[in-house]
Amino acid sequence: MNVTVEGSGALSPMDLSLPRSKGIVGFTAYAQLRLPPVAEAFARLGFPDYFRVELAWAKILGVVLLLAPASARLKEWVYAGFAFTLGSALIAHFAVGDGPEAWGWAAATSVLWGISYFLWRRQQAHDAHTRR
């Protein structure tokens, strides 16, 4: 899989070592920290600037914990945190009357989060079954 970013060359698969759903969450954290249009969107939704930064760092920590060999209980909490964040993002966009062009990213990321959680739970069940 190669990804081209405007103004750069193609990235190799080695550059994209995160699973896709976690990579998207990581990208949204980057966008919240570095992209002015994202900062403007947070302000338009009524959130203070410090919340945008705090949320971005929480997402980065969450991705790290999902990828690290952490306990299943901790990973459940991380998945729950992402669920609350994504649900809150959708509610915020709907509350101000945004259309799909604004809330589409949150909806698509929610779908990917759900798939990631389902597959992780399936892997947990498989691992528990093989340990017997």
Q: Are 78 and 58 in contact (CB under 8 A)?
A: no
With respect to residue 3, please indicate whether it lies within any of the assigned structural domains: no
Residue 104 falls within a domain, yes or no? yes
Q: Which domain holds residue 53?
A: 18-130
Contact 28, 59 (CB under 8 A): yes
Helix axes 72-95 and 100-130, enclosed angle (nearest 10): 160
9 part of a folded domain: no
105 within domain boundaries: yes
Distances in Å between the Cα of 121 and the Cα atoms of 33, 54, 79, 86, 110 are: 30, 28, 11, 19, 16
Residue 7 lies in a domain: no
Q: How many domains does the chain have?
A: 1
Q: Residues 82, 25: contact at Cβ < 8 Å? A: yes
List, for residues 8-22, the tens digit of each pLDDT value: 344 333 333 445 555
Instruction: Determine the 3-state secondary structure of 1 from DSSP.
Output: coil
pLDDT digits (tens, 9 = 90+) for 43-86: 989 999 899 899 888 988 998 898 888 899 999 999 999 999 99
In a domain, 5, yes or no: no
